[in-house]
Structure 1
Amino acid sequence: MSNASIGSPEQLRDPNYTPPLAKAIPLGIQHVLAMFVSNVTPAIIVAGAAGFGFGSNSPDFPELLYLIQMSMLFAGVATLLQTITLGPVGAGLPIVQGTSFAFLPIMIPLVAGKGVDGLAAVFGGVIIGGMFHAVLGLFIGKIRFALPPLVTGLVVTMIGLSLVKVGIQYAAGGVPAIGTPEYGSLLNWSAALVVIFVTLGLKFYARGMLSVSAVLLGLIAGYIYALMTGMLTFDTIASSWSNASAFALPQPFKYGFEISAAAVIGFCLMGFVSAIETVGDVTGITKGGAGRDATDKEISGATYADGLGSTVAGLFGAFPNTSFSQNVGLIAMTGVMSRHVVTCGAVFLIICGLVPKVGGLIRTVPIEVLGGGVIVMFGMVVAAGVSMLSDVNWNRRNMVIFAIALTIGLGLKLDPGALQHMPDTARILLTTGLLPAAAIAIVLNLILPDELSEEATEEVSGGMSGHGKGSLPAE
């Protein structure tokens, strides 16, 4: 599909331009394909952490389907807030919203082993945290100074590092299989490796949508491999399809509402980080698609929509939403800036969210196959964080901030037992690893002088001295 057949160069750079419907719908579905796997994966991971049974005959199966269904439905609703706008809410830009990975380190400890009972506190945190996130739209531009690339790069890197263990466990057979002979078997790993190799092949040797949708196509290849090797049977697929209804509406407060200090504090703090991520995505869209900087109104509107979308999602049993960076790259690739194209994709997501049979099919993906995709996705999160850190001026001051924040944050994540005597709220927040790392980096960045003494730095760094933007310290 050539750009000339869609509109003139001036029209393509205009967010308010509406391409012909026959062109807009396929372009909108492209956006959905680019984010589809990433959007539903957090729901599956939280369900696994809560101890839900994944089989189609499990009593928890309907709950898992509902979480997947809500992920699709409210990603579509939040995207509509961004594209259509509602008063000051929404940027009026082609921003695709989806379930955020950033909140997983907060949600997993809250639900660990608690089943459905752990979800009330999570959704209480989602709702209140979403409100806080929306309020940030009033002054988001004034707090960006507190989150330079040193801080945001560290936070994004920590998000990925906090989650890579999940990918390995899934690829080896899933958390329920730990300790069994099947865990870590060659068959399990072979399915994950098929996904990884196909994804890498398409990402680097294909072009266009084949490259953009590499993870989705990798999972499809793994799915076919699972059918060929007997890991998945057509009977299982038929059972999941028949046990899922054809249509269902969301249920308000399905899992209750509970105010947990750990959940509220955690979601509010991560809302702060997510807001800055959205600012970056909005800027990337306007620069890549229209060749200009984002306006204050667009940045504020996008932040409002982030928060309001998450609040509404929490009311009905969906997790926090944020703007999806992969779709920023898709706009730069297609050159189509129309927000109405993304609106078509949002409508498609909403339709999928109202049809639980779609969730039923998604759930038939073997955990080992999903593990291959998760390894790639979380690895890319780490890589994105490292890319942000490449913009840091690695002087002595920034090296010390990064070293202390990463060491304490990652150390607490790796050994949560070190805080066993802390109160429950503090223990949950600190053992995420992410929040202490972010807090330490933000505070040290604000209070430490621009230049530390050489003696103090060399005592910490073993004589290494930092120099130059994006460069390694000299020996």
Structure 2
Amino acid sequence: MADDSLGSPLQLRDPNYTPPLIKAVPLGIQHVLAMFVSNVTPAIIVAGAAGFGFGSNSPDFSELLYMIQMSMLFAGIATLLQTVTIGPVGAALPIVQGTSFAFIPIMIPLVAGKGVDGLAALFGGVLLGGLFHALLGTVIGRIRFALPPLVTGLVVTMIGLALVKVGIEYAAGGVPAKASGAESYGSLRSWSAALVVIFVTLGLKFFARGMLSMSAVLVGILVGYLYALGIGMLSVEAIGTSWTRAASFALPDPFRYGFEFSAAAVVGFCLMAFVSAVETVGDVSGITKGGAGREATDREIKGATYADGLGTAVAGIFGALPNTSFSQNVGLIAMTGVMSRHVVTIGALFLILCGLVPKVGALIRTVPIEVLGGGVIVMFGMVVAAGVSMLSDVVWNRRNMVVFAVALSVGLGLQLEVMNLAPGAPNALQHLPDSLRILGASGILPAALIAIVLNLVLPEQLSGESTEEVSGGLAGHGSGRFSQD
């Protein structure tokens, strides 16, 4: 519920209204807290996949800090593009931008085990993919027909399914511990830290209200952090070392990791840009509907897509990962009833400040991987749930079930077959060129392409569909979304 002291109902529905600063500042920081963990987690995952060390004594420690720092800085800058706007760029709405999970399955194969050397192609793909994403703003209204809930729901579900393994590996002790065969991997001690985070998060989500509920994952990780300190998983000395080694202030370094054109990276990022663009359209619509009770205008949708893409392109120059609008903050606007874009601008400035202070990243990096695992298990599970929720809007006739079945079977099958093999072992895609093999291994892009093509070319009704039952007796049962027509 909105606080009457913030302004009149008409003012609160106006994106250009600024509440009193004593109220606006906490509301802006609340937006940051709601997305903070989700924003820095992709950088930690990609850095881990690249082989960067997780300890404060690792020679790659500074690279970890830098990627975390850039995640905060460019999430803030991209958010400013949305709220303040530059010409046609930006929606002039309270849209919070953050690092996207959607691109992780594309990024991991590009950097896996390559260290810093694998990042040049990655950030080349981020830059060009971001520019392509911005171009989608000119046609986003005309291509939405190719991305109905059947397609977007499948893609989002596949993204979540590709990530859940990462959450389990983190909770069990991390990929380095698994690769080295450490006895601590999968121990009760490791799992206990992750479970503390999960239980606290669930407790707050279901039994708390307001900001405690919205920041349940963040609070859960903080409690898990204290638990790790209590059982000796983390020491005060390690925290002190991380804090001491990190600078108090640092500016971003353009082309820090070089720049390289990779067909796999460019094609992968461009294809995933479609998903991100559609997600942004949905978030813009959710903000205007939930905060102002109206539909989003064409100008707002175009401006949001421009900002999404340009924010990603600029981030790629400085070593940050792709940005997208954050859906959790859409829910926060609906909850508070405050539509002011200037409130989110305050949150963006706070993110930029954190991004310029590497000591903030150093503290984040001291979070034990098991504690982070508890948080990402919840977050990645929510990605799958979001995809299933999108699929609930699909009318499940035989035609749509065939499209979904073929796309999921090929995509998930490739993903599982490739990821479960030992390095160097033969796989189902070994005879493809390197670029196509990397794209196919994610499973997401093959599934998306199959779903889009089949959805466009198959007739709306398969032959005999009106008289045959759907296999398994699903037709006509359940929610009423299953249909034989």
Common topology (TM > 0.5)? yes
> Of 425, 430, 446, which aligns to 2:435?
425
Superposition CA RMSD, Å: 1.7
Q: What does residue range 35-46 of structure 1 map to in structure 2 within 5 Å?
A: 35-46=35-46
Q: How do residues 70-469 of structure 1 correspond to structure 2 at under 5 angstroms?
A: 70-178=70-178, 179-416=181-418, 417-454=427-464, 462=471, 464=473, 466-467=475-476
Q: What residue identity is the alignment partner of 1:93?
A: L
Deviations along 1:113-134, one digit per CA (max 9) or x if unpaired, are 0001110000000000000000
4+ residue segments displaced more than 4 Å: 455-459, 461-465, 467-475
User: Aligned with 2:320: secondary structure?
Assistant: coil
Gap change, CA 1:430 and 1:191, over 3 Å in 2: same
Contact kept, 8 Å, 1:393 with 1:470, in 2: the verdict is no
- Is the partner of 2:195 in helix, strand or coil? helix
Paired amino acid for 2:105: P
Work out the CA distance in 2 between the residues paired with 1:7 and 1:283. Answer: 23
1:38-70 deviation per Cα after TM superposition (whole angstroms, max 9, x unaligned): 000000000010010011110000000000000
Give the secondary structure class of the aligned counterpart of 2:312.
helix
For 1:362 and 1:303, the matched residues in 2 are separated by 30
Q: Secondary structure at the match of 2:428?
A: helix
Residue 143 of structure 1 aligns to a residue whose secondary structure is helix
The superposition leaves residues 355-406 of structure 1 with CA deviations (integer Å, 9 ceiling, x where unpaired) of 0000000000000000000000000000000011111000000000111111
Alignment-mate amino acid for residue 97 of structure 1 = Q
1:102 aligns to what SS in structure 2? coil
Q: Find the aligned partners of 2:324 and 2:256 in 1 and give their Cα distance.
A: 22
Q: Deviations over 1:239-298 (max 9, x none)?
A: 000010000000000001000000000000000110000000000000000000000000
Matching residue's letter, 1:207? R
Find the aligned partners of 1:438 and 1:33 in 2 and give their Cα distance.
32
* Equivalent position SS for 2:7: coil
Match of 1:98, SS state, is strand
Percent identity between the two aligned chains: 78
- Of 409-418 and 352-361, deviating more is 409-418
Give distance in 1, aligned partners of 2:25 and 2:196. Answer: 31
- For the 8 Å contact 2:398–2:465, the answer to whether it is kept is no
Q: TM-score, normalised by structure 1?
A: 0.97
Rounded to whole Å, the distance in 1 between the matches of 2:369 and 2:428 is 31
Query: In terms of mean alpha carbon deviation, does 174-183 or 122-131 score higher?
Result: 174-183
Q: Secondary structure at the match of 1:252?
A: coil
User: What is the deviation of 1:418?
Assistant: 1.4
Provide the C-alpha distance between the structure 1 equivalents of 2:9 and 2:116, rounded to a whole number of angstroms. Answer: 51
**Offset at 1:470?**
5.3
C-alpha contact (below 8 Å) 2:395/2:483 kept by paired residues: no
Residue of structure 1 in register with 2:423 after alignment: none
Question: Where does the alignment leave 5 or more consecutive residues of structure 1 unmatched?
Answer: none
Q: Give the AA of the match of 1:442.
A: I
Between the aligned partners of 1:377 and 1:367, the Cα distance in structure 2 is 15
Cα separation, partners in 2 of 1:471 and 1:435, compared to 1, 3 Å: farther
Q: Which amino acid aligns with 2:45?
A: I
Q: Structure 2-normalised TM-score? A: 0.95
Letter in 2 for 1:195: V
User: In structure 1, the residue corresponding to 2:103 is in which secondary structure?
Assistant: helix
Q: Match of 1:340, as an amino acid?
A: H
SS in 1 for 2:95: coil
SS at match of 2:98: strand
